[in-house]
Amino acid sequence: MHVWPNGRAFPCCLAEHMDGDYGNTNQQTLHELWNSDLAKSLRRNMLDDKPSRACVRCYELEKDSDAYTLRINLNNKFGPKHFDKVRAT
């Protein structure tokens, strides 16, 4: 999760084109933001290889330059151990 100084939250520092408001730390706890319907949906989509508009920058980097993005890195590093836990959220 990425949070601006004004409290506005995003799934990561590259996220854009959000399908809704991810939230604000001045109005919600980190626990509430992490467990919001939007956050859960984004995580499930990522596990199911369903594109999310918020992740368009990484998709473009991966397609155009075979970049090893944060999305790929974290999925490879944490995914296999935690996919079932994330799916259950």
User: What amino acid occupies position 63?
Assistant: K
Domain count along the chain:
1
Does the pLDDT of residue 66 top 90, yes or no?
Answer: no
Residue 42 has pLDDT above 90, yes or no: no
Tell me what pLDDT residue 88 has: 72
Mean pLDDT (whole number) for 31-36: 92
Q: What pTM was computed for the model?
A: 0.73
| Domain of 52, in residue numbers | 2-87
Closest CA to 1 of 31, 45, 46, 27: 31
The predicted model gives 27-52 an average pLDDT of 88
Two structure tokens written together for 70: 């944060």
Which is higher by pLDDT, 65 or 8?
A: 8
